[in-house]
Amino acid sequence: MVGENEQEKQYRLCPSCANFSHVLERHFFCILCGTKLIDSCAKCGTPITHPHGKFCHHCGSSYMADQVGTNR
Ligand SMILES: [Zn+2]
Ligand SMILES: [Zn+2]
């Protein structure tokens, strides 16, 4: 059962600059850097429920893209 209450606590996160947006705002790309936002862990699929989280609370993998040194 996935109701609207679930979505109220879900966020999208920019894997590039860590900007975030509430799921209900329906932003799909980062307004700061244009990167496609993620709404769940790439590894285990757990939804992102904390706007400032940078690691999955379920499996501990990082939400951020691999730091390759390309900040631009
Ligand atoms: Zn960004
Ligand atoms: Zn995970």
pTM: 0.80
Residue 1's pLDDT is: 58
35 is in which domain, residue-wise? Answer: 8-65
Q: What is the count of structural domains for the chain?
A: 1
pLDDT at 69: 56
Within a domain: 38? yes
pLDDT tens for each residue of the chain, 72 residues long: 556 677 889 999 999 999 999 999 999 999 999 999 999 999 999 999 999 999 999 999 999 987 555 555
Q: Distance, CA 7 to ligand 1 centroid (Å)?
A: 21
Residue 2 covered by a domain:
no
Whole-number pLDDT of residue 2: 57
Distance 30 CA to ligand 1 centre (A): 5
Determine, yes or no, domain membership for 1: no
Given this model, what pLDDT does residue 50 score? 93
Asked whether residue 58 is assigned to any structural domain, the reply reads: yes
DSSP string across 18-49: --EEEGGGT--B-TTT-PBPBSB-TTT-PBP-
CA 50 to ligand 2 centroid distance, Å = 13
